[in-house]
Structure 1
């Protein structure tokens, strides 16, 4: 079984639609392999995929690569994925099956308090983020947990583009449909999937991200944040 590092953070009919979308993604990823699978959801909203068949090992590896994996054990210096749960003046808290705190000094995202970085980089709750585990450090030894270099590079790249609007609690299809319904289809490049229910609307050059947010915000029960080009 693989526990995917993305959350099904909605309920009722929206949850069923999210799981339908997840089945499609899993089918696209491993459908050509000789493997059967069953999808479930843990008590903490992380989805599970139980895989059987001749290609089960290969299928699990594909899912780990595609979504990241929530694991039981953590080794210092190794890279993992968690979802952004909260932030305060002390740093970010990621959910990787248990709370993982990334101190403010180890975010590596430039100057500003964590709340300011959340706004600057358009971070939304439940966004999957990659980190390097530093251990519990109960004796003060060892390295602290930090965001991975790849994660930092990804976020900085967002600020060098043409702008984005990041959204949570919505499937990629719903975000696309909302942009179209609001009459802004020509103002975006694509909707990039960040997690199962976390999307990034990539703006065209000249599109105003705050204006796009204002246009689509009333139609989505979501947290939305802009990434303004620096």
Structure 2
């Protein structure tokens, strides 16, 4: 039997049932039984499964959802980890990312402001608060990071993984607004769009995480305009706007060439 912690986070205990149904569907056809699905520390999903194909299932789930490191000893320099933003420190010079490390103690990755300035602001000395605002780096937003240093004091330094930075570049260059919905299933998101009358104003619904979605708006549709009505149908979710026009207005059109 394997017991692992997926890089999937729930927002409410009731969502364990949904996650369980998704995992059962994903493992259909494999000779493997899902034994237990529960919440690990910080609401990451802990899964136990067994059977003849349990090793195949392990590799598949790791590829599909990624795994939490769980223990600090499983981290190393240049290791890429999928996490969730947890906030900014009081000095405003570090972005904290929960990467699913809770043994022997809970540890979060720290992305220094200088690193974000280099990767997202073309080296310009922009305040972290402004970078967070422009790129929608709010609490619970999925973020893939690369470990850059494991300090002697136990802190973990990180930077944006290349795939994450490239994804931001793709989003900016598309010139299409995105409404990030955090804490809802895809069905709930699409249902909310349908009932609010905005289904025709979107191009697609991307899935950065199992319970995190990016609603891609059609050109000319402002994501912020969706919030009043869509938000009313997604009362338990958080909504965050990613606006390429805001990025370009702040940095200038030549900024697109930096990605």
User: Normalized against structure 1, the TM-score is what?
Assistant: 0.88
2:28 aligned to which of 28, 31, 35: 31
User: Normalized against structure 2, the TM-score is what?
Assistant: 0.79
Structure 2 equivalent of residue 67 of structure 1: 65
Structure 2 equivalent of residue 5 of structure 1: 7
Deviations along 1:183-212, whole A, 9 cap, x unmatched? Answer: 111111222222232111111222221111
Once the 2 structures are TM-superposed, how far is the Cα of residue 94 of structure 1 from its aligned partner? 0.8
Unaligned runs of 5+ in 1: none
Q: 3-state DSSP class of the match of 2:180?
A: strand
Residues 37 and 46, structure 2, Cα contact 8 Å, conserved in 1: yes
Select the structure of larger CA radius of gyration: 2
Distance 1:214 1:118, change over 3 A: farther
Whether 1:55 and 2:70 are equivalent positions in the alignment is: no
1:167 aligned to which of 178, 181, 185: 181
For 1:123 and 1:224, the matched residues in 2 are separated by 12
Unaligned runs of 5+ in 2: 102-106, 246-259
Whether 1:152 and 2:165 are equivalent positions in the alignment is: yes
Q: 3-state DSSP class of the match of 1:6?
A: strand
For 1:208 and 1:70, the matched residues in 2 are separated by 35
Structure 1 equivalent of residue 254 of structure 2: none
Once the 2 structures are TM-superposed, how far is the Cα of residue 144 of structure 1 from its aligned partner? 4.7
Distance 1:128 1:228, change over 3 A: closer
For 2:168 and 2:160, the matched residues in 1 are separated by 11
Runs (4+) of structure 1 exceeding 3 A deviation are none
Higher RCO (Cα < 8 Å, 6 or more apart): 1
Query: Which structure is higher in strand share?
Result: 2
Structure 2 equivalent of residue 105 of structure 1: 114
Distance 1:144 1:95, change over 3 A: closer
Q: How does 1:173-192 map to 2 (within 5 A)?
A: 173-192=187-206
For 1:189 and 1:45, the matched residues in 2 are separated by 31
1:92 aligned to which of 95, 100, 124: 95
Q: What number of residue pairs does the alignment pair up?
A: 222
Residues 125 and 168, structure 1, Cα contact 8 Å, conserved in 2: no
Whether 1:209 and 2:211 are equivalent positions in the alignment is: no
Query: Which structure is higher in helix share?
Result: 2
Deviations along 1:100-136, whole A, 9 cap, x unmatched? Answer: 1111122311143333222222334222211111232
Structure 2 equivalent of residue 224 of structure 1: 239
Residues 87 and 138, structure 2, Cα contact 8 Å, conserved in 1: no
Once the 2 structures are TM-superposed, how far is the Cα of residue 172 of structure 1 from its aligned partner? 1.7
Whether 1:123 and 2:126 are equivalent positions in the alignment is: no
